Amino acid sequence: MGLLFAILVADRLNPPPLQRAQTRSVVVADRHGEVLRTFLARDGAWRLPVRHQDVDPRFIRYLMAWEDQRFGAHPGVDPFALLRAAYQLARDTRIVSGGSTLTMQAARLLEPRPRTLLAKAQQILRAVQIDAHLSKGEVLDLYLTLAPYGGNLEGIRAASLAWFGKEPKVLTTGEAALLVALPQSPERRRPDRFPKMAKAARDRILQTLADRGHITQTEAREAMAEPIPERRIPFPFLAPHLSERLARSAPASTATVRATLDRTVQMKLEDLARRESRFVDDMATIAVIAVDTASGQVIGHLGGHDFWGVAGQIDLTRRARSPGSTLKPFIYGLAFDDLMIHPLTLIDDKPTVFGDYAPRNFDRAFQGTVSITQALQMSLNVPAVALLDRVGPLKLAGRLRDAGATLVFPTRGAVPSLPLALGGVGISLEDLTTLYAAIPGGGVVRPLRFEVGQGGGATSRLFGEQAAYYLAKILRGSPLPDGWSMGQGVIRARAVGFKTGTSYGYRDAWAIGFSPRYTVGVWVGRADGSTRPGYFGRNAAAPILLKAFECLPPEPQGLPLPPPGIIVAQNAAQLPRALQRFRTRGQEKAGLRAIQPPRISFPPDGSVVGLPREGPRQTMALKARGGEGTLRWIINGVPVTDGQGPQIFWTPDSTGFSQLTVVDGAGRSDTVRVRFKTD
């Protein structure tokens, strides 16, 4: 009993030193487990996490046959092997076989010591202790993680990737035999330095396996004919910016981070960016992000196409830059929501002064009277500013922020104003792509997800389903880049809609697009923000965007059905009078000086209304005053179809916040937010 107690105390005071095995490289893998990028362990080794279940079973069999035939039966030490080694040492006065089990080798790798009899005795004790603490599978994992393979390669996974360029899940007979041979003398058998010695060691193992009946002589000869790798293959280096971000944010104990990326998509996007970089200036870079719209999962991410170039390590998907005209669809979306406009509504594009602000178009020309569809497709500036003047810059900025976007204004504390329509604010490619995903997403914004298992986060509504439908239909008709008719095939095959933008001074070229399933954002520019005359969104970014869609997995063809509440017409004359033509504030004041805009008188903004906890739902009156013509109501972005006028009756369908809007015949509106709760 005393001896047993002493052993237990010693075991508690001096447990197995597993720290080295736990100091592993961080591996960032894609959604399918394929390696994207690996990072050195803290001690400078490539020590990749591995489980024996993920290794070719033939390698495990060959390893046992060569190193430890009774691995499954002994308690960490094989007495027969030790006796044999001692007898051979006495007989030949030299070490013929070491008698070490895989457990003993794992113990030596955990605690490297000089090769002495004392060290061997300590190794034996450690092996017994390790075997008592761990299962046989865990011991095998320990060896497979720590076994040396030359240079700073440790473990079979690092070795297989470095020497064969693949995971050890499937190995040839020759590859498996070489990986058995290398740990016995990793530096003297390094294939890139001593290929003859590596081949001799491998072939010796193959012949022994054949002689013992583990493989046939024919298999041995064929495996001996396999070439020895001449050099180390670089580890995968995909999505370097996102991989680094995920690795840095992972808990210290994490060995593998599963990104939502798709390795095949990522490789195609990186190849595309490298090819397209020939057509941009030498100092410019290309950033791309591709999103599965329904889930918010990022399936492709490129923070810049040249990681090792000037400022290449900056993740430009996260840098705030001027978005040019790419915010215009959100102005139109809010105007659709408030029933100010319809895609067929007429609007003037002519010289207009808004206070001290006089916007002009990109080409310095004006188009006269156009439809809302034409105004957005042609990216006309005056109509966009006129709509923002009515919607309100504060409202637009608030909606974008509520959707999770970070807006950076030129000066600290600046109040959103009309230049917001033309890019007078900074926003990142990540945030802009997130916002655009609301268009095919029915108006709902979903936070981006970068890691498998990451929560989706709270969704928010940017605009209603009807507005999203109108925007998608309009942007699917955006003009193609000049001389790029081949893009028509991509648009037809995937029903792609897109919008381009160019910041002041040609600093940033943007193209953001969507199909029914995916949303893609592209930014082209210089990391230092310097100008690039002649490069704008339509010619520099849009071609890359359309080619990026060809890199994505196939998706079902066909368009989603229109939501309820869509107004169908052939021309503006068939629309309700208030939607036939949009009037600017100046036009509105000239014709409506004596008529006050509509105001909701009940319920007041910010009020709390009690609902019965049980029984029938309570109907309440919604009241408004003022306004011209018929008053129409919108509740939570959905037009009310069974009532109009200064008073309607409505039954709340749930507790929580509701947004109530009234719109008059001139398109003027008032909105309140009300909270409903049970008594």
Which positions are annotated as active-site residues?
Answer: 67, 325
**In one letter, which amino acid is 291?**
V
Cβ-based neighbours of 352, under 8 Å, separated by 6 or more:
358, 359, 382, 385, 386, 584, 586
608-611 vs 669-678, strand pairing mode: parallel
CA-angle at 660, arms to 657 and 664, nearest 5°: 170
Q: Which two tokens stand for residue 312?
A: 């290449």
For helices 487-494 and 542-549, what crossing angle results, to 10°? 50
Dist CA 375 CA 470 (whole Å) = 13
Please state the φ and ψ torsions of residue 18, each to the nearest 5 degrees. Answer: -90, 5
What are the beta bridge partners of residue 385? Answer: none
Burial 438-460 (b: 16+ CB within 10 A, else e): bbbbbbbbbbbbbbbebeeeeee
Instruction: Annotate 413-454 with three-state secondary structure.
Output: CCCCCHHHHHCCCEECHHHHHHHHCCCCCCCEECCCECECCC
Q: How far is CA 425 from CA 16, 323, 325, 434, 497, in A?
A: 58, 7, 11, 17, 24
Q: How far apart are CA 325 and CA 422, in angstroms?
A: 5
Q: Where are the alpha helices (DSSP H) in 442-541?
A: 465-475, 487-494
Q: Alpha helix locations (H) across 511-632?
A: 542-549, 577-580, 585-591
Contact residues for 584 (Cβ-Cβ < 8 A; gap 6+): 348, 352, 386, 389, 390
Q: What angle do CA 327, 328, 331 make, to 5 degrees?
A: 100
Comparing CA positions, the residue from 442, 389, 460 lying closest to residue 419 is 389
Using left for φ > 0, alpha for ψ between -120 and 50, and beta otherwise, residue 540 falls in alpha
244: which residues sit within 8 A by CB, 6+ positions away?
37
Look-up: residue for tokens 């009300």? Answer: 674
**Alpha-carbon span 179 to 110, nearest angstrom:** 20
Half-sphere CA count of 601, side-chain side, radius 13 A: 11
